[in-house]
Chain A
Amino acid sequence: MEQIASHPAAGQKKALPGDFAIWIFIYAELLVFGIFFLAYAYTRAQHVELFNTYQQHLNRESGAINTLVLITSSYFVVMAVAAIRRGAAGHCTRWLILAVLSGSVFVWIKLAEFAAKHAEGITLSTNTFYMFYLSLTFFHFMHVLMGMVILSVVALKAYRGAYNAQEHTGVETGASYWHMVDLVWIILFPLVYVLH
């Protein structure tokens, strides 16, 4: 609490990269997904057959590709932070653009997956498994979009020279959020698509 109150003015050593406020968001987001995952696990235990059956109908290939895409995008973000710490704003901007592009690949693949399910007539009310599948992946999808907006703004600011080797809290803030989005998917994918 001390940190958030004194953060903007005081130049003290920070325990966490980026703005402290984003960490409150990140914790809150992880809490929501955490509760959702627990609810999924609990419900799965009640309906093992149902979940096993319909899990087979998911497109695991596109899920796996998306996992690689997000991990790669996180790598780009890491490179962007490393670049700005060196003061290389131009490099930072390019890495961030690559990260946003990877994000859009994820979005595109995900949309194709949603479209396929929609074409099969699957909705939130089809059964409990699909309710969880659609809810979880859709909420995560919205977070990817949000993360892309954040990274785009950071990229634009980096391009305009708003950050340098000393002051680049914004880049770290965007990066922290993006890693959270990635982390959630790394749990979500095996949990919903793979684990029997």
Chain B
Amino acid sequence: MKYQSQAVAKPYFIAAIGLFVGQILFGLVMGLQYVMGDFLFPEIPFNVARMVHTNLLIVWLLFGFMGAAYFLVPEETEHELHSPLLAKVLFWVFLVAGALTVLGYLLVPYARLAELTMNDLLPTMGREFLEQPTITKIGIVVVALGFLYNIGVTILAGRKTVVSMVLLTGLVGLAVMFLFSFYNPINVVDDKFYWWWVVHLWVEGVWELILASILAFVLIKVTGVDREVIEKWMYVIIAMALISGIIGTGHHYYWIGAPEYWQWWGSIFSALEPIPFFMMTVFAFNMVNRRRREHPNKAAVLWALGTAVMAFLGAGVWGFLHTLAPVNYYTHGSQITAAHGHMAFYGAYVMIVLTIISYAMPILRGQEAADPRAQVLEMWSFWLMTVSMVFITLFLTGAGVLQVWLQRFTDNPQPFMVVQEKIEVFYWLREAAGLVFLLGLILYVAAFFVKGGERVMASNAVADTA
């Protein structure tokens, strides 16, 4: 660890992994509820499990992003973090607020939670992914402001690199777009229109900047390739990502009551969204092939390459699959959307956070890289999680295609629930793949607890697995 203040990243990473485990457990619960509707009812109804599953995902990724920023900003700026104390305080504020919110979801009915948190003073609840009580949302804004202040002042005081500036831009964008979660118009079209400004402009806009900067940082570190080369790639990738992603918001406006021209704008621009992801894949492999050093952290390199590939497949390919308006006319809101959502979130954002954790955690624990045996275990977890996610995606895609056919495309469309029964087999298979994912996650956590072994043998083992 080059700078003492980087150490504040550690609790953020640990919390992220802890919440990740929670997210997967609730995912398995709701996966089972797809086929056994009354499983855990009335304690954990489907809508609650779903809310916890998606909200935990967002919260742990935010923990991961913040941890990443606290780790990489001191190193990029060559300057200690402005206030490690503030970072520690905000960590606990965010963790407690997050935990209370999830407990609120689980322990009281949602309507009661809205009453308790005085939602009617400033109603913001009741919308998918933005279910958090208003008071939690305010807490998120406070934490974000404190965090941005801390990171921003550090960057201003130190060396300004493209990596840290792009990261800061992404993080500011993240905070600014979140403000639209407070805008809750009565008109349902308006509501959906601006709701996407949070949801879409996060994941297909500003988060991509965060992803690109973290990936660039790790690649600079593990490959030793010139910063200038990596920065140039970054410029091209983020410019493409922003242009296609921002106007690509239109692919959510096809059927919500927005003007018809969005069908053209949304189709054309979102069809280009795979390009920056493809460029990112080429970029990552290119940099690793041109590496000037053999970094002992093979696992981090694997995660970095995995991120690029899976982000392209999940966000790029599976997104393109149903982004054109004439296709989306049939597929919107089906299991195809769920398939895309799973692989895109895993490939782009889960994997980038695991990449930076993989790179940073050993350093935070006083080593350049984890013990080779731990790395072997981590690589196993990489393959188990990644391959099972590919299967989750394929099974959901199968379910989605059949669903679209039976429920919407055929001459004799069948009711939703009838179709759901017919595609049950896919849901069972998805649940099985989900269990494999959990196994991978358990190995991932276990890898942190592997004690050092014999160097020589172990490094051979790493080479074999890689």
Contact = CB atoms under 8 A, between A and B. Distances in A.
B96 interface: no
B388 to A, nearest CB: 31
B229 A25 contact: no
A7 B279 CA distance: 17
Contacts of A32: 268-269, 272
A41 interface: no
Contacts of A109: none
Given A1-B286, A35-B271, A125 B265 contact: no
Interface residues of B, number: 25
Interface in A131-186: 131-132, 135
B260 A21 contact: no
Contacts of B239: 25
B329 interface: no
Nearest to B231: A8
A25 B236 contact: yes
B272 A135 contact: no
Contacts of A124: 259, 261
A24 B236 contact: yes
Contact of B264 (A5, A9, A25, A135): A135
A21 B229 CA distance: 11
B191 to A, nearest CB: 21
A124 B258 CA distance: 12
Nearest to A124: B261
Nearest to A23: B236
Contact of B232 (A4, A28, A31, A132): A4
A36 interface: yes
B260 A8 contact: no
B19 to A, nearest CB: 37
Interface string A2-30: 00111111000000000101001100100
A36 B268 contact: yes
B268 A125 contact: no
A39 B275 CA distance: 19
B229 A35 contact: no
A135 B260 CA distance: 13
Contacts of B269: 32
B325 to A, nearest CB: 11
Given A7-B232, A125-B261, 7 more contacts: A5-B229, A5-B290, A21-B236, A28-B275, A131-B261, A131-B264, A135-B264
Interface of A: 1, 4-9, 19, 21, 24-25, 28, 31-32, 35-36, 39, 124-125, 131-132, 135
